Structure 1
Amino acid sequence: MAGRFGGAFGRVLQRRGSSSAPSLDLTHNIILYVEGVTVSFDGFRALNDLSLYVAPGELRCIIGPNGAGKTTMMDVITGKTRPDTGSVWFGQTLDLLTLGEPEIAQAGIGRKFQKPTVFSEHSVFENLELAMAGDKSVWKMLFARLTPEQLTRIDEVLETIGLKDHRSARAGSLSHGQKQWLEIGMLLMQDPALLLVDEPVAGMTPQETERTAELLTSLAGKHSVVVVEHDMNFVRSIARTVTVLHQGSVLAEGTIDEVQNDPKVIEVYLGEPRC
């Protein structure tokens, strides 16, 4: 089994979990609370009293140079890194700092890393099938007959990610952009409430970048989406609210025009178009 599927299979099983996700309490209209979070590595503060709030259905862009704390922030939210101080809540009642990575994924937080991880030797359809949420053993997941509802769900996701005409194609034969969309689709099969997406358009063609902007924009409202990105043209095309990180803290927050015209941002980044 390990030889056929490798590390990607383990990651999908970890994301899947074994029971339904707990319901979220969104009575204050906030889905993610990151409050006063500090993370230090050998004396270096990767995050410094960071506070961030994301609303249900929001599309948030996070920008900042290398070392600003973007990846560490996502590591904390998904349970990969434990902070020195601070709190991280999913809705009103779910304390993420008490949960492990699989439990956080099961609770409804999906993370897409910059490099896509798909099952290269399997079809696009099979990749989505393997990622499907639910309490199923490995063998049942691979060989059981899908229900009409499950088939409908896979078709819906194929339509959303723009790969309906590639359902039978081997995932390894897809372009870089198509692999990125497939991995987003694999996360969508688990119906996460919150998606964390790391540099989704790195290495994409202009056409793929445009399609990715359309895809992420279409997900907002149904899901909360947090996008970490360096490509400022792409950020401008999708941004509703932009948060600028600098030295592990929030430097500025607002629309793309507001942050790009903020004197603090201009001073820190010397007016460069890439943040």
Structure 2
Amino acid sequence: MSLIKSLSQRDRVFDFMAPAESPVDVRHGPILYMEDVTVSFDGFKAINDLSLTVDDGELRCIIGPNGAGKTTMMDIITGKTRPDQGQVWFGTRHNLLTMNEPEIATLGIGRKFQKPTVFEALSVFENLELAMTADKRVLPTLFARLDGPARERIDEVLEMTGLAEQRRRPAGVLSHGQKQWLEIGMLLMQRPRLLLVDEPVAGMTEQEMERTAELLTGLAGKQSVVVVEHDMGFVRSIARKVTVLHQGSVLAEGSMDEVQNDPRVIEVYLGESEEAA
């Protein structure tokens, strides 16, 4: 019997609670636990007996060649894709495979996709306001008034993302990097316990990449952050622990130096380069 099975029972879904109040128990294990997860698409195993753990407050980088299963892994965690077998737990009490996408988001798992999605006609402040965990029905939204704590939270996120001076500007006029930071800020407004970030520096300038590195490393300890990224220079700048995926499984794990010097990793990346050539 697995460790998680011995510690846990199927839990209720606290869908009325904000993520900050979500009862995620990490006293007996990691905040994210995946065990023997497999998913196939038309006979192809996109994920193959994947086992992975992420600790509370950890910053983890996930790397791997194209087709390694990185996106599918995040789809499984967020409820978009159901695996054929395996277990996925949030803390030791929440079986994510019994929940849908909104329920998983309510528990405190936020996901940022590669392409930023913001409301370009609205100001930066208004984007953050709309992203707050609240009643999103039409009438409550129209007549809502921000209280002191809500404004303080928006100001805090503006400072964290480096967008304080842009607060009144329409999101549509921001640079690509600023839009990425705004979308991260919109997720932070919901106070996630686990933040999944997909290729955050794609298309960024070097200066924007440095600022993004500061933002993500600053979140570590406050949230658990999983970063999927292809830019190895950026990964090295933020990495504490790196997991290398290949053919849907964990190939190697450790520090950046350890995985870069692993003969199996070298072979996989060299093989991909030769195929591309």
Normalised to the residue count of structure 2, the TM-score between the two structures is 0.90
User: Do residues 61 (structure 1) and 58 (structure 2) align?
Assistant: no
Contact 2:18–2:190, Cα closer than 8 Å, also in 1: no
The CA distance in 1 between the partners of 2:18 and 2:70, in whole Å, is 29
Contact 1:51–1:249, Cα closer than 8 Å, also in 2: yes
- C-alpha distance after superposition, 1:162-182 (max 9, x if no partner): 000000000011000000000
User: Do residues 257 (structure 1) and 252 (structure 2) align?
Assistant: no
Task: Give 1:267 deviation, angstroms.
Answer: 1.6
User: Do residues 20 (structure 1) and 22 (structure 2) align?
Assistant: no
Q: Which residue of 1 aligns with 2:268?
A: 268
User: Do residues 122 (structure 1) and 122 (structure 2) align?
Assistant: yes
> What residue ranges of structure 1 are gaps of 5+ in the alignment?
1-16
Q: Which residue of 2 aligns with 1:86?
A: 86
Letter in 1 for 2:172: G
Q: Which residue of 1 aligns with 2:161?
A: 161
- C-alpha distance after superposition, 1:95-115 (max 9, x if no partner): 000000000000000000000
Q: Which residue of 2 aligns with 1:247?
A: 247
Letter in 2 for 1:91: G
> What residue ranges of structure 2 are gaps of 5+ in the alignment?
1-14
State the secondary structure of the residue aligned to 2:184.
helix
- C-alpha distance after superposition, 1:223-245 (max 9, x if no partner): 00000000000000000000000
- 1:181-260 equivalence runs, <5 A: 181-260=181-260
Letter in 1 for 2:51: S
State the secondary structure of the residue aligned to 1:270.
helix
The CA distance in 2 between the partners of 1:122 and 1:264, in whole Å, is 48
Task: Give 1:52 deviation, angstroms.
Answer: 0.3
State the secondary structure of the residue aligned to 1:67.
coil
Letter in 2 for 1:67: G
The CA distance in 1 between the partners of 2:142 and 2:127, in whole Å, is 10
Task: Give 1:263 deviation, angstroms.
Answer: 1.1
Task: Give 1:18 deviation, angstroms.
Answer: 5.0
- C-alpha distance after superposition, 1:60-86 (max 9, x if no partner): 000001100000000000000000000
Cα 1:239–1:96, aligned 2, differ >3 Å: closer, same or farther? Answer: same
The CA distance in 2 between the partners of 1:173 and 1:18, in whole Å, is 35
Letter in 1 for 2:18: S
Cα 1:239–1:142, aligned 2, differ >3 Å: closer, same or farther? Answer: farther
Pairwise CA RMSD: 1.4
Normalised to the residue count of structure 1, the TM-score between the two structures is 0.91
The CA distance in 2 between the partners of 1:56 and 1:138, in whole Å, is 35
Q: Which residue of 1 aligns with 2:3?
A: none
Letter in 1 for 2:25: D
State the secondary structure of the residue aligned to 2:102.
helix
Q: Which residue of 2 aligns with 1:3?
A: none
Contact 1:19–1:135, Cα closer than 8 Å, also in 2: no
State the secondary structure of the residue aligned to 2:117.
coil
Letter in 1 for 2:76: V
Q: Which residue of 2 aligns with 1:111?
A: 111
State the secondary structure of the residue aligned to 1:75.
helix
Contact 2:124–2:182, Cα closer than 8 Å, also in 1: yes
Contact 1:18–1:134, Cα closer than 8 Å, also in 2: no
Task: Give 1:270 deviation, angstroms.
Answer: 2.0
Cα 1:142–1:29, aligned 2, differ >3 Å: closer, same or farther? Answer: farther
Letter in 2 for 1:224: S
Letter in 2 for 1:226: V
Contact 1:244–1:250, Cα closer than 8 Å, also in 2: yes
The CA distance in 1 between the partners of 2:89 and 2:189, in whole Å, is 23
Letter in 2 for 1:177: G
